[in-house]
A = this chain, B = another copy of it.
Protein backbone atom coordinates (compact mmCIF):
# COMPACT_ATOMS: atom_id res chain seq x y z
CA UNK A 1 0.00 0.00 0.00
CA UNK A 2 1.63 3.23 -1.19
CA UNK A 3 1.72 5.81 1.56
CA UNK A 4 2.04 9.53 0.90
CA UNK A 5 4.47 11.98 2.44
CA UNK A 6 2.19 13.20 5.22
CA UNK A 7 4.35 16.26 5.88
CA UNK A 8 2.70 17.88 2.85
CA UNK A 9 -0.58 17.89 4.75
CA UNK A 10 0.89 20.36 7.24
CA UNK A 11 1.14 23.01 4.51
CA UNK A 12 -1.44 25.76 4.51
CA UNK A 13 -3.81 25.17 1.60
CA UNK A 14 -3.90 28.68 0.14
CA UNK A 15 -0.63 29.76 -1.32
CA UNK A 16 -0.35 33.52 -1.52
CA UNK A 17 -0.52 34.16 -5.26
CA UNK A 18 -3.54 31.95 -6.03
CA UNK A 19 -5.50 33.90 -3.39
CA UNK A 20 -4.44 37.18 -4.99
CA UNK A 21 -5.50 35.82 -8.37
CA UNK A 22 -8.90 34.84 -6.98
CA UNK A 23 -9.58 38.30 -5.57
CA UNK A 24 -8.43 40.06 -8.74
CA UNK A 25 -10.62 37.82 -10.91
CA UNK A 26 -13.60 38.54 -8.68
CA UNK A 27 -12.95 42.27 -8.90
CA UNK A 28 -12.51 42.34 -12.67
CA UNK A 29 -15.70 40.33 -13.16
CA UNK A 30 -17.60 42.87 -11.10
CA UNK A 31 -15.77 45.81 -12.72
CA UNK A 32 -15.07 44.85 -16.32
CA UNK A 33 -14.29 48.46 -17.30
CA UNK A 34 -11.54 48.90 -14.69
CA UNK A 35 -7.96 48.98 -15.97
CA UNK A 36 -6.22 46.92 -13.33
CA UNK A 37 -2.46 47.46 -12.96
CA UNK A 38 -0.48 44.56 -11.52
CA UNK A 39 2.47 45.37 -9.33
CA UNK A 40 2.10 42.20 -7.33
CA UNK A 41 4.12 39.20 -8.45
CA UNK A 42 7.80 39.81 -9.08
CA UNK A 43 7.75 38.99 -12.76
CA UNK A 44 9.67 40.94 -15.37
CA UNK A 45 7.98 42.60 -18.35
CA UNK A 46 10.76 43.95 -20.58
CA UNK A 47 11.99 41.98 -23.62
CA UNK A 48 15.31 40.15 -23.42
CA UNK A 49 18.41 42.11 -24.37
CA UNK A 50 19.16 42.01 -28.14
CA UNK A 51 22.57 40.39 -27.59
CA UNK A 52 20.91 37.65 -25.57
CA UNK A 53 18.29 37.11 -28.27
CA UNK A 54 21.05 36.85 -30.88
CA UNK A 55 23.02 34.24 -28.92
CA UNK A 56 19.82 32.32 -28.27
CA UNK A 57 19.07 32.17 -32.00
CA UNK A 58 22.63 31.10 -32.73
CA UNK A 59 22.33 28.23 -30.27
CA UNK A 60 19.07 27.09 -31.88
CA UNK A 61 20.89 27.06 -35.21
CA UNK A 62 23.58 24.89 -33.62
CA UNK A 63 20.89 22.35 -32.73
CA UNK A 64 19.83 22.25 -36.37
CA UNK A 65 23.20 21.00 -37.59
CA UNK A 66 25.06 17.73 -37.11
CA UNK A 67 28.41 19.47 -36.54
CA UNK A 68 27.30 21.82 -33.78
CA UNK A 69 24.50 19.73 -32.28
CA UNK A 70 24.54 19.65 -28.48
CA UNK A 71 23.10 16.62 -26.67
CA UNK A 72 23.60 15.91 -22.98
CA UNK A 73 25.90 18.52 -21.52
CA UNK A 74 27.64 18.43 -18.15
CA UNK A 75 24.97 18.24 -15.43
CA UNK A 76 26.57 21.13 -13.57
CA UNK A 77 26.62 23.33 -16.66
CA UNK A 78 29.08 24.23 -19.40
CA UNK A 79 32.44 25.51 -18.33
CA UNK A 80 32.27 28.41 -20.80
CA UNK A 81 29.30 29.73 -18.83
CA UNK A 82 30.73 29.10 -15.36
CA UNK A 83 34.00 30.76 -16.36
CA UNK A 84 32.40 33.93 -17.68
CA UNK A 85 30.28 34.19 -14.52
CA UNK A 86 33.43 33.99 -12.44
CA UNK A 87 35.24 36.54 -14.62
CA UNK A 88 32.46 39.09 -14.87
CA UNK A 89 30.45 38.63 -11.66
CA UNK A 90 32.91 37.48 -9.03
CA UNK A 91 36.43 38.62 -9.93
CA UNK A 92 35.45 42.31 -9.90
CA UNK A 93 34.32 41.80 -6.29
CA UNK A 94 37.68 40.31 -5.39
CA UNK A 95 36.13 36.86 -5.07
CA UNK A 96 38.15 33.98 -6.54
CA UNK A 97 36.22 30.88 -7.58
CA UNK A 98 36.83 27.89 -9.85
CA UNK A 99 34.35 26.46 -12.35
CA UNK A 100 34.10 23.36 -10.18
CA UNK A 101 32.41 25.53 -7.54
CA UNK A 102 29.67 26.81 -9.89
CA UNK A 103 26.55 24.73 -10.63
CA UNK A 104 24.30 26.03 -13.41
CA UNK A 105 20.63 25.17 -13.00
CA UNK A 106 17.19 25.82 -14.42
CA UNK A 107 16.48 28.45 -11.77
CA UNK A 108 16.98 29.57 -8.24
CA UNK A 109 13.61 28.38 -6.93
CA UNK A 110 14.64 24.80 -7.70
CA UNK A 111 18.08 25.32 -6.21
CA UNK A 112 16.82 26.83 -2.95
CA UNK A 113 14.46 23.88 -2.63
CA UNK A 114 16.81 21.12 -3.76
CA UNK A 115 19.77 22.13 -1.61
CA UNK A 116 17.97 20.62 1.38
CA UNK A 117 18.52 17.16 -0.14
CA UNK A 118 22.14 17.05 0.99
CA UNK A 119 21.50 17.96 4.63
CA UNK A 120 20.30 15.77 7.48
CA UNK A 121 16.75 16.22 8.64
CA UNK A 122 17.68 17.03 12.23
CA UNK A 123 19.43 20.30 11.40
CA UNK A 124 17.75 23.33 12.94
CA UNK A 125 16.90 25.91 10.30
CA UNK A 126 16.54 29.67 10.77
CA UNK A 127 14.54 31.69 8.26
CA UNK A 128 13.43 35.28 8.02
CA UNK A 129 9.93 36.50 8.73
CA UNK A 130 8.63 37.81 6.33
CA UNK A 131 10.30 35.53 3.80
CA UNK A 132 10.16 34.04 0.31
CA UNK A 133 7.67 31.24 1.06
CA UNK A 134 9.75 28.56 -0.70
CA UNK A 135 12.32 28.51 2.14
CA UNK A 136 9.62 27.74 4.67
CA UNK A 137 7.45 25.36 2.67
CA UNK A 138 10.27 23.16 1.43
CA UNK A 139 11.41 22.60 5.00
CA UNK A 140 7.87 21.59 5.94
CA UNK A 141 7.69 19.23 2.94
CA UNK A 142 10.86 17.34 3.80
CA UNK A 143 9.58 16.81 7.33
CA UNK A 144 11.84 19.11 9.29
CA UNK A 145 8.91 20.72 11.17
CA UNK A 146 5.85 20.00 13.23
CA UNK A 147 2.48 21.56 12.57
CA UNK A 148 1.96 25.30 12.14
CA UNK A 149 0.57 27.30 15.04
CA UNK A 150 -2.35 29.72 14.58
CA UNK A 151 0.02 32.50 13.44
CA UNK A 152 1.55 30.29 10.77
CA UNK A 153 4.85 29.48 12.50
CA UNK A 154 5.89 25.86 12.09
CA UNK A 155 7.23 24.08 15.13
CA UNK A 156 10.94 23.40 14.76
CA UNK A 157 11.84 26.34 12.53
CA UNK A 158 13.54 29.35 14.11
CA UNK A 159 11.93 32.49 12.70
CA UNK A 160 13.88 35.74 12.61
CA UNK A 161 11.59 38.80 12.44
CA UNK A 162 12.54 41.43 9.83
CA UNK A 163 10.74 44.65 10.64
CA UNK A 164 11.33 48.38 10.66
CA UNK A 165 12.09 48.01 14.38
CA UNK A 166 15.31 46.12 13.69
CA UNK A 167 16.01 47.95 10.44
CA UNK A 168 15.26 44.68 8.58
CA UNK A 169 18.43 43.07 9.93
CA UNK A 170 17.43 40.29 12.30
CA UNK A 171 19.26 39.55 15.51
CA UNK A 172 21.36 36.44 15.82
CA UNK A 173 19.11 33.62 17.01
CA UNK A 174 19.21 32.78 20.70
CA UNK A 175 18.83 29.07 19.96
CA UNK A 176 21.71 27.27 18.25
CA UNK A 177 20.87 26.90 14.57
CA UNK A 178 22.60 24.84 11.88
CA UNK A 179 21.33 26.34 8.64
CA UNK A 180 20.53 30.03 8.13
CA UNK A 181 18.68 31.47 5.14
CA UNK A 182 19.67 35.03 4.28
CA UNK A 183 18.38 36.94 1.26
CA UNK A 184 19.96 40.32 0.39
CA UNK A 185 18.82 42.45 -1.35
CA UNK A 186 15.81 41.12 0.44
CA UNK A 187 12.62 39.73 -0.97
CA UNK A 188 10.03 40.92 0.07
CA UNK A 189 11.31 44.00 1.95
CA UNK A 190 13.71 45.36 -0.68
CA UNK A 191 16.24 46.16 2.03
CA UNK A 192 19.98 45.41 2.04
CA UNK A 193 22.70 44.44 4.50
CA UNK A 194 26.10 46.08 4.87
CA UNK A 195 29.35 44.12 5.00
CA UNK A 196 29.48 44.60 8.76
CA UNK A 197 26.01 43.17 9.14
CA UNK A 198 26.80 40.16 6.98
CA UNK A 199 30.04 39.65 8.86
CA UNK A 200 28.05 39.11 12.04
CA UNK A 201 26.34 36.14 10.34
CA UNK A 202 29.51 34.73 8.84
CA UNK A 203 31.20 34.91 12.23
CA UNK A 204 28.24 33.16 13.84
CA UNK A 205 28.21 30.42 11.19
CA UNK A 206 31.96 29.82 11.49
CA UNK A 207 31.80 29.72 15.26
CA UNK A 208 28.91 27.23 15.21
CA UNK A 209 29.80 25.18 12.10
CA UNK A 210 26.53 26.37 10.63
CA UNK A 211 25.89 26.84 6.90
CA UNK A 212 24.40 30.03 5.43
CA UNK A 213 22.15 29.77 2.36
CA UNK A 214 22.71 33.18 0.80
CA UNK A 215 20.11 34.11 -1.80
CA UNK A 216 21.56 36.85 -3.97
CA UNK A 217 18.88 36.75 -6.67
CA UNK A 218 18.58 40.55 -6.63
CA UNK A 219 22.25 41.53 -6.38
CA UNK A 220 22.21 43.15 -9.83
CA UNK A 221 19.79 45.79 -8.53
CA UNK A 222 22.18 47.19 -5.93
CA UNK A 223 22.97 50.85 -6.64
CA UNK A 224 24.53 51.95 -3.35
CA UNK A 225 28.34 51.68 -3.36
CA UNK A 226 29.78 49.38 -0.72
CA UNK A 227 26.75 47.14 -0.33
CA UNK A 228 27.99 43.56 -0.85
CA UNK A 229 26.81 41.73 -3.99
CA UNK A 230 28.07 38.38 -2.76
CA UNK A 231 28.42 36.78 0.66
CA UNK A 232 31.94 35.82 -0.41
CA UNK A 233 32.97 39.47 -0.10
CA UNK A 234 32.99 38.71 3.62
CA UNK A 235 36.15 37.08 4.91
CA UNK A 236 35.66 33.43 5.79
CA UNK A 237 32.33 33.08 3.97
CA UNK A 238 33.69 30.35 1.69
CA UNK A 239 33.96 28.16 4.77
CA UNK A 240 30.32 28.59 5.71
CA UNK A 241 28.11 29.77 2.84
CA UNK A 242 26.34 28.52 -0.26
CA UNK A 243 25.26 31.31 -2.62
CA UNK A 244 22.29 31.26 -5.00
CA UNK A 245 22.06 33.51 -8.03
CA UNK A 246 19.51 33.82 -10.76
CA UNK A 247 19.20 35.15 -14.30
CA UNK A 248 15.45 35.64 -13.75
CA UNK A 249 15.53 39.21 -12.58
CA UNK A 250 19.10 40.09 -13.63
CA UNK A 251 18.44 39.36 -17.30
CA UNK A 252 14.68 38.84 -17.57
CA UNK A 253 14.88 35.03 -17.61
CA UNK A 254 11.74 34.29 -15.57
CA UNK A 255 10.33 32.37 -18.55
CA UNK A 256 13.71 31.22 -19.87
CA UNK A 257 14.94 29.52 -16.69
CA UNK A 258 18.53 29.72 -15.55
CA UNK A 259 20.17 30.06 -12.15
CA UNK A 260 23.28 28.99 -10.37
CA UNK A 261 24.58 27.80 -7.03
CA UNK A 262 28.06 28.39 -5.68
CA UNK A 263 29.35 25.66 -3.36
CA UNK A 264 32.94 26.50 -2.40
CA UNK A 265 35.49 23.71 -2.15
CA UNK A 266 36.32 24.68 1.44
CA UNK A 267 32.78 24.19 2.65
CA UNK A 268 32.09 21.16 4.80
CA UNK A 269 29.25 19.60 6.73
CA UNK A 270 29.50 17.02 9.48
CA UNK A 271 28.70 13.32 9.10
CA UNK A 272 26.81 11.29 11.72
CA UNK A 273 30.16 9.97 12.90
CA UNK A 274 31.44 13.50 13.42
CA UNK A 275 33.74 13.81 10.42
CA UNK A 276 33.90 16.79 8.09
CA UNK A 277 32.61 16.10 4.59
CA UNK A 278 33.01 18.20 1.44
CA UNK A 279 29.64 19.73 0.52
CA UNK A 280 30.72 20.51 -3.04
CA UNK A 281 31.21 16.78 -3.65
CA UNK A 282 27.85 15.98 -2.07
CA UNK A 283 26.00 18.58 -4.14
CA UNK A 284 27.76 17.38 -7.29
CA UNK A 285 26.49 13.89 -6.59
CA UNK A 286 23.00 15.26 -6.11
CA UNK A 287 23.14 17.27 -9.33
CA UNK A 288 24.58 14.48 -11.47
CA UNK A 289 22.02 11.94 -10.22
CA UNK A 290 18.83 14.02 -10.15
CA UNK A 291 19.36 16.65 -12.86
CA UNK A 292 20.46 16.64 -16.49
CA UNK A 293 21.80 20.14 -16.94
CA UNK A 294 20.13 23.39 -17.96
CA UNK A 295 18.99 23.69 -21.57
CA UNK A 296 21.92 24.23 -23.97
CA UNK A 297 20.45 27.26 -25.81
CA UNK A 298 19.46 28.76 -22.43
CA UNK A 299 23.07 28.47 -21.25
CA UNK A 300 24.27 30.13 -24.47
CA UNK A 301 21.77 32.94 -23.90
CA UNK A 302 22.93 33.28 -20.29
CA UNK A 303 26.56 33.55 -21.39
CA UNK A 304 25.60 36.40 -23.74
CA UNK A 305 24.51 38.45 -20.71
CA UNK A 306 28.25 38.82 -20.01
CA UNK A 307 29.30 40.00 -23.46
CA UNK A 308 30.07 43.72 -23.60
CA UNK A 309 26.86 44.44 -25.49
CA UNK A 310 24.74 42.05 -23.45
CA UNK A 311 26.01 43.46 -20.21
CA UNK A 312 25.24 47.06 -21.16
CA UNK A 313 21.80 46.14 -22.48
CA UNK A 314 20.82 44.17 -19.38
CA UNK A 315 22.11 46.99 -17.14
CA UNK A 316 19.90 49.38 -19.08
CA UNK A 317 16.86 47.18 -18.42
CA UNK A 318 17.71 47.04 -14.73
CA UNK A 319 18.03 50.83 -14.72
CA UNK A 320 14.56 51.03 -16.28
CA UNK A 321 13.10 48.95 -13.45
CA UNK A 322 15.02 50.91 -10.84
CA UNK A 323 13.63 54.16 -12.21
CA UNK A 324 10.19 52.57 -11.74
CA UNK A 325 11.20 51.78 -8.18
CA UNK A 326 12.14 55.39 -7.58
CA UNK A 327 8.84 56.63 -9.02
CA UNK A 328 6.92 54.30 -6.74
CA UNK A 329 8.98 55.10 -3.67
CA UNK A 330 8.90 58.85 -4.14
CA UNK A 331 5.21 58.78 -5.04
CA UNK A 332 4.36 56.85 -1.90
CA UNK A 333 6.47 59.15 0.23
CA UNK A 334 4.79 62.19 -1.31
CA UNK A 335 1.46 60.60 -0.38
CA UNK A 336 2.70 60.28 3.19
CA UNK A 337 3.12 56.52 3.07
CA UNK A 338 6.06 55.13 5.05
CA UNK A 339 8.12 52.86 2.82
CA UNK A 340 11.38 50.90 2.59
CA UNK A 341 13.45 49.30 -0.12
CA UNK A 342 13.33 50.37 -3.76
CA UNK A 343 16.87 51.77 -3.74
CA UNK A 344 18.94 48.60 -4.13
CA UNK A 345 16.10 46.25 -4.96
CA UNK A 346 13.08 46.18 -7.27
CA UNK A 347 10.66 45.90 -4.35
CA UNK A 348 9.06 48.64 -2.28
CA UNK A 349 7.87 47.54 1.15
CA UNK A 350 5.35 49.94 2.54
CA UNK A 351 3.77 50.28 5.95
CA UNK A 352 0.02 50.16 5.39
CA UNK A 353 -1.61 53.51 6.22
CA UNK A 354 -4.00 54.00 9.13
CA UNK A 355 -3.25 50.67 10.78
CA UNK A 356 -4.95 48.62 8.08
CA UNK A 357 -3.91 45.02 7.97
CA UNK A 358 -2.22 43.75 4.79
CA UNK A 359 -5.30 42.19 3.19
CA UNK A 360 -7.47 45.19 4.06
CA UNK A 361 -4.95 47.36 2.25
CA UNK A 362 -4.87 44.90 -0.65
CA UNK A 363 -8.64 45.17 -1.05
CA UNK A 364 -8.64 48.95 -0.69
CA UNK A 365 -5.85 49.37 -3.25
CA UNK A 366 -7.62 47.05 -5.66
CA UNK A 367 -11.04 48.62 -5.21
CA UNK A 368 -10.06 52.28 -5.10
CA UNK A 369 -6.91 52.43 -7.23
CA UNK A 370 -7.31 49.28 -9.34
CA UNK A 371 -3.74 48.38 -8.40
CA UNK A 372 -2.65 44.88 -7.38
CA UNK A 373 0.17 44.41 -4.88
CA UNK A 374 1.17 41.68 -2.47
CA UNK A 375 0.02 41.63 1.15
CA UNK A 376 3.01 41.51 3.48
CA UNK A 377 1.29 39.01 5.74
CA UNK A 378 1.48 36.52 2.88
CA UNK A 379 5.24 36.38 3.47
CA UNK A 380 4.96 35.62 7.18
CA UNK A 381 3.38 36.92 10.40
CA UNK A 382 5.88 39.80 10.78
CA UNK A 383 4.83 41.02 7.33
CA UNK A 384 1.41 41.91 8.75
CA UNK A 385 0.76 45.60 8.32
CA UNK A 386 3.17 45.78 5.38
CA UNK A 387 2.64 45.55 1.65
CA UNK A 388 4.93 44.84 -1.33
CA UNK A 389 4.90 46.68 -4.64
CA UNK A 390 7.08 45.46 -7.47
CA UNK A 391 8.95 47.73 -9.87
CA UNK A 392 8.87 45.26 -12.77
CA UNK A 393 5.97 46.90 -14.61
CA UNK A 394 5.81 49.04 -17.72
CA UNK A 395 6.68 52.68 -17.02
CA UNK A 396 3.30 54.10 -18.01
CA UNK A 397 1.51 51.60 -15.79
CA UNK A 398 3.77 52.42 -12.88
CA UNK A 399 3.16 56.14 -13.34
CA UNK A 400 -0.59 55.68 -13.56
CA UNK A 401 -0.62 53.42 -10.50
CA UNK A 402 1.36 55.93 -8.46
CA UNK A 403 -0.88 58.79 -9.58
CA UNK A 404 -3.96 56.85 -8.50
CA UNK A 405 -2.41 56.10 -5.11
CA UNK A 406 -1.49 59.76 -4.64
CA UNK A 407 -5.01 60.82 -5.58
CA UNK A 408 -6.43 58.46 -2.96
CA UNK A 409 -3.98 58.93 -0.07
CA UNK A 410 -2.07 62.03 -0.93
CA UNK A 411 -3.74 64.56 1.26
> Which residues from chain A sit less than 8 Å from chain B, CB to CB?
1-6, 8-9, 11, 15, 41, 43-48, 50, 53, 56-57, 60-61, 63-66, 69-73, 106-107, 109-110, 113-114, 117-120, 122-123, 133-134, 137-138, 141, 178-179, 208-211, 252, 254-257, 269-272, 277, 279, 282, 285-286, 288-298, 394
Contact = CB atoms under 8 A, between A and B. Distances in A.
A70 B254 CA distance: 8
Contacts of A141: 117, 286, 289-290
A289 B73 contact: no
12 contacts: A2-B209, A3-B119, A3-B270, A4-B119, A4-B271, A4-B277, A45-B71, A46-B66, A47-B64, A73-B255, A109-B290, A141-B290
B119 A282 contact: no
A3 B178 contact: yes
A292 B110 contact: yes
A232 B45 CA distance: 40
Nearest to A267: B2
B2 A211 contact: yes
A256 to B, nearest CB: 6
A292 B109 contact: yes
A256 B272 CA distance: 39
A15 B288 contact: yes
Nearest to A50: B64
A120 B298 contact: no
Contact of A8 (B6, B66, B178, B285): B285
Given A71-B44, A137-B289, A270 B4 contact: yes
A360 to B, nearest CB: 27
A256 B134 contact: no
A394 B67 CA distance: 11
Contacts of A298: 295, 298
B3 A123 contact: yes
A45 B71 CA distance: 7
B3 A272 contact: yes
Given A5-B119, A46-B69, A256-B296, 13 more contacts: A2-B179, A4-B277, A6-B120, A41-B72, A44-B71, A47-B66, A48-B64, A48-B69, A57-B57, A73-B255, A106-B292, A109-B290, A295-B298
A41 B73 CA distance: 12
A114 B293 CA distance: 15
B288 A113 contact: no
A16 to B, nearest CB: 11
A76 to B, nearest CB: 13
B43 A65 contact: no
Contacts of A137: 289
A63 B43 contact: no
Given A53-B60, A66-B47, A290 B110 contact: yes
Nearest to A136: B289
A53 B56 CA distance: 12
Contacts of A285: 8, 11
Contacts of A47: 63-66, 69
Contacts of A117: 5, 141
A158 B307 CA distance: 52
A383 B100 CA distance: 33
Which of A11, A64, A272, A296 has the most chain B CB atoms closer than 10 A to its own CB?
A: A64
B60 A4 contact: no
